Chain A
Amino acid sequence: MRRGLLISFFLHIFVAFFVFINVPESFFPKNEVKAISIKLVAAKNVKKTVAKETPKAVRTQQSAAPKAPPKPKEKPKPKPKEKPKAPTIVKEIPKKAPQPAKKKIEVAEKEPKKVEPKKEDIAPDSRPAKLDKTPDKKNVIQDANKDATPVEDPDDFLKALSFIEDLKAEESAMFEGEKTEETTINVAEQAELAVLKKHIERNWYKTPGTKFSNAVLLRLKINRDGTLASLEVIESSGSASLDSSLVRAARKSVPLPIPSDKYDLFKEIDLYWNG
């Protein structure tokens, strides 16, 4: 008897638990299914603006390097990493430090043409001074502490920046759907890709109205001067006129606007149209 009671008691609890917690959950989310398709449309527009804005963000961070403090949100991330690693990193600093710095200067020079002169002015003032001091860890840290308490080490600050940059590049790469190896594409290259995309799209008179067209994949191999070395339809849409319209666009887009120093990145390009 007792057993039976116990069993029925637990069964009741189990059923009650199931009804109150699991069942309502399985009922409610059904209504939300439709929201997805609507959001996608808006998201595309948002992505574009995000991609365009990123270069601005880089600019302000660099030019504002001395004033850096106004960005407290990003610091918590680098800080905890630095403290434990501090003793080991110290030795590497002189080697590593110049590299990120150079990269950033490059980025700055290429993207925003208007701002170039300003940066040249700023860079020599701020950067070399700090870079020269890097070997003397104590000085650097002290200086940083004097200037602004939140930033402890210029190298770390730069690292923090590059970390953010990478993140943004990754994000925007994901959004734009321009997929590459890991994070080999940074913000500047992202912008160059966008230029390239626009350039080709402007030249592409897509056969209009083909409602159920399949995807097309066109592979371009590119010479150093931006001309086409080869061109191959990897994936055909099944419509000869659609395929040839894309081929025409590629040929018409020559020479492709590719930065000469980044030839290795752009020497092979896949053009993809998702039907």
Chain B
Amino acid sequence: MKVMNKMMQKIYISLLALVVIFTCANAEARVRINLTDPNSDPLPTALVPFDGETGDEQNVGLQIRNIIASNLQNSGLFNVVDTKAHLQSRNSLRTSGILLNEWRLINVEAVMTGHIEIITDGNQQRKAKVEFRLYDPYGSSDKPIIAKSYTADINFWRHIGHRISDDVYTALTGESGYFTTRIVHIAEEKKGDKKLKKLCVMDQDGGNYQCLTDGNHLVLTPRFNPSMQKIVYMSYANGFPRLYLLDLPTGKQEIVGDFEGLNSSPRFSPDGKTLVMTLTKGHAGNPEIYSMDLETKKLKRLTFNRGIDTSPSFSPDGKKIVFNSNRGGKPALYIMDADGNRVKRLTFGAGLYYAPVWSPRGDNIAFVKSYKGRFSIGVIDPDGSEIRQLTESFLDESPTWAPNGRVIIFARQMGDQTKLYTIDITGYNERQLITPMDASDPAWSPLLK
């Protein structure tokens, strides 16, 4: 009997389990659709010109709106619809606020509206107060996703536009923006037979162009420090290749260290306190990588190899350095710890690899690859697992990252011209960045705070 009881118990339990399983299964009886192929077109977005009381205000409002429109459009991720397609008029917006169904009709996924006011304060300084709201036409309520306002000197209207662009970009993509940034580069001016190389800075979109040196000396490889207050670059100002530090607010220049031989390829650490560079001092012209504490001016040698070691670049956490070396027989990329230990080769295979730059996001390293006489910009995972080629031309060089690690700017030589180009890390949206002169050696600044 006991055995029978146990048997019955077992049967009962297993039956119970079966019932449970079936009820669970029934509860799951819904259709599941695995989405695999989302729409990859740019996001349709409507930007309404900032509204103002006076004609002057409306004019500035339209210009700021156009800055935002070109920023978003150029990023390749947005399709800013023409204002002529907007159904809700300025008057309707004024009287009844935003009517989301009017915007749903033109199929936009986001709408920005805003208001501008020009105030003259006590010191006769004209200030623009710009407020904007970003709406989701398919949202559950009429409330904006974000609403912010900026007040600044009216001369900085472009800057306000970049700020709002960053806000909109972040709200819709989830990534930080890169529009409030500057790009330093070497501009090449042709004066008769002479070619003058100047150190110049501009906004990320080519605006606010300004040159910092007069072009009497050859300058190369400028780099921003993380606070954007300093630029380090290489110059032949005293006849030898030396590194200089330029303090932007004061315009003061100082030599980083007058070391014998070649001083080149400087780059700041992410905290801005150390500088890595290539020096040939004291070892028979063989380039080795050094790091230097900018406060104490103490120098530390990081590489000890008979091959050429150059182009160091820090990882965003400051713990590793990627660099270029021909110790394996030909130029390839290597990664080492920030103190020079644990060197590991990153690139293998055909072609020569140069000029590595670690992405500010940390997930990629950009480089220049030369293969069969053609040059290309590529990206590789820091663990070497995935390598992708983004561009190819007769000569592509000097890649540098936007602060959000999403866009790369590089110099491309075509014929006797060198111009700057940007490309998305997906490999799409390659376009030229218009500069007044030929430009090379770009370096993207961090995001302005």
Residues in A lying within 8 Å of B, measured CB to CB: 44, 176-181, 184-185, 193, 196-197, 200-212, 219, 239-242, 244-249, 251-252, 265-274
A269 and B32 CA atoms in complex are apart in Å by 6
Known: A184-B29, A197-B33, A205-B38. 16 other contacts (CB 8 A): A178-B33, A200-B35, A201-B37, A204-B35, A205-B39, A205-B41, A206-B39, A208-B77, A208-B173, A209-B406, A240-B174, A244-B136, A248-B109, A249-B38, A267-B30, A271-B33
Chain B residues in the interface with A (C-beta under 8 A): 25-26, 28-41, 43-44, 77, 104, 109, 136, 138-139, 171-175, 363, 406, 424-426
B386 → chain A, closest Cβ, in Å? 10
* B138, A248: Cβ atoms closer than 8 Å: yes
Main secondary structure of the interface of A (DSSP, over half): mixed
Residues of B with C-beta under 8 A to A180:
29-32
Which residue of chain A has the shortest Cβ distance to B145 in the bound complex?
Answer: A244
Task: Give the A-B pair count, Cβ closer than 8 A.
Answer: 110
Given A179-B32, A196-B33: A205 and B43 interface contact (C-beta under 8 Å): yes
**Cβ of B29: which chain A residues have Cβ within 8 Å of it?**
180-181, 184
Residue ID in chain B nearest A250 by CB atoms? B138
B38 and A206 form a contact (CB under 8 A) = yes
Pick from B25, B138, B406 the residue with the most CB of A within 10 Å: B138
| A211 to B363 Cα, complex, angstroms | 10
**Across the interface, do B173 and A178 meet the contact criterion of CB distance under 8 Å?**
no
Residue of B30, B33, B37, B44 with most partner-chain A CB within 10 A: B33
13 A-B contact pairs sorted by A residue (CB < 8 Å): A180-B29, A200-B35, A204-B35, A204-B39, A208-B426, A210-B174, A248-B138, A252-B138, A270-B32, A271-B33, A272-B34, A272-B35, A273-B35
Q: How far apart are A41's CB and chain B's nearest CB, in angstroms?
A: 12
A274 and B34 contacting across the interface, CB-CB below 8 Å: yes
Residue ID in chain A nearest B363 by CB atoms:
A211
**CB distance A200 to B43 under 8 Å?**
no
**Which residues of chain A are within 8 angstroms of B426 by Cβ–Cβ distance?**
208-209
A241 to B26, CA, bound (A): 33
Cβ of A42 to closest chain B Cβ, rounded Å: 14
A269 touches B33 (CB 8 A): yes
**Cβ–Cβ < 8 Å partners of A242 in chain B:** 174
Bound complex: CA of A273 vs CA of B40, how far in Å?
14
